[in-house]
């Protein structure tokens, strides 16, 4: 008999969806729109304001996802003990989750550094003007990569979660149910 984990699975999936979607929207929509500001000194300021408003939601999404993920591991410990493929998926998924969380935190720190230098003006949110301070140049170059790593890694987590769902399906096809 299967045990349903709808609530805990929902925490896992909703947290992950918000983390992925918010990060992707921020990289494409928020940073893209802020880069269009006419005043080069407004570009980082506007982007920083948007990310500051999103940060509590992002943090909440990470916490909700972590609670859901821990709950799924605890709820499936028996299956994971005997199913090597499921155990391997869980270990890899946990490593990617911790990496993505670390990158998200680091990205926030880099974003703060960019905000501290917003008055220097920029070509785009992650594209520095020639001659800006070394700190701003370095932060923008890092953020240019980080903003894509987060949705990339969380996208992989979504795929791995789907794979885990497939691993929990009963073995056999439709007609196997009617065999005696």
**According to the model, what pLDDT value does residue 180 have?**
55
**Structural domain contains residue 81:** yes
CA 124/CA 108 separation, integer angstroms: 18
**Structural domain contains residue 54:** yes
- Count of residues for the chain? 180
**Structural domain contains residue 57:** yes
**Structural domain contains residue 121:** yes
**Structural domain contains residue 95:** yes
CA 22/CA 35 separation, integer angstroms: 18
**Structural domain contains residue 129:** yes
**Structural domain contains residue 50:** yes
Tokens 């720190």 map to which residue? Answer: 109
**Structural domain contains residue 60:** yes
- Backbone dihedral region of 24: left (phi > 0), alpha (psi from -120 to 50 degrees) or beta? alpha
Q: Within 10 A of 35 (CB to CB), how many other CB atoms are there?
A: 18
Tokens 């979607």 map to which residue? Answer: 21
Count up the domains in the chain and report the number.
1
**According to the model, what pLDDT value does residue 163 have?**
86
* Residue 95: exposure state from Cβ atoms within 10 A (0-12, 13-18, ≥19): exposed
> Which residues constitute the domain of residue 161?
6-169
pTM for this predicted structure:
0.86
Instruction: Output the tens digit of pLDDT for each of the chain's 180 residues.
Output: 356 889 999 999 999 999 999 999 999 999 999 999 999 889 999 999 999 999 999 999 999 999 999 999 999 888 888 888 888 999 999 999 999 999 999 999 999 999 999 998 888 889 888 889 999 999 999 999 999 999 999 999 999 999 887 776 655 655 666 665
């Amino acid at each position: 008999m299967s045990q349903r984990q709808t609530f805990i699975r929902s925490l896992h999936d909703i947290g992950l969806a918000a983390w992925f979607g918010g990060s992707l929207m921020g990289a494409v929509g928020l940073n893209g729109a802020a880069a269009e500001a006419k005043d080069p000194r407004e570009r980082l300021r506007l982007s920083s304001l948007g990310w500051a408003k999103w940060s509590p939601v992002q943090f909440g999404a990470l916490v909700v996802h972590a609670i859901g993920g821990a709950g799924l591991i605890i709820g499936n410990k028996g299956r994971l003990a005997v199913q090597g493929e499921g155990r391997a998926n869980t270990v890899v998924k946990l490593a990617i989750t911790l990496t993505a969380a670390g990158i998200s935190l680091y990205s926030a720190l880099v974003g703060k550094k960019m905000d501290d230098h917003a008055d220097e003006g920029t070509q785009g949110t992650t594209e520095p003007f020639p001659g800006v301070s070394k700190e701003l140049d370095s932060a923008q170059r890092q953020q240019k990569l980080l903003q894509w790593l987060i949705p990339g890694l969380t996208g992989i987590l979504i795929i791995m979660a789907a794979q885990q769902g497939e691993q929990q399906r009963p073995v056999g096809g439709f007609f196997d149910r009617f065999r005696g």
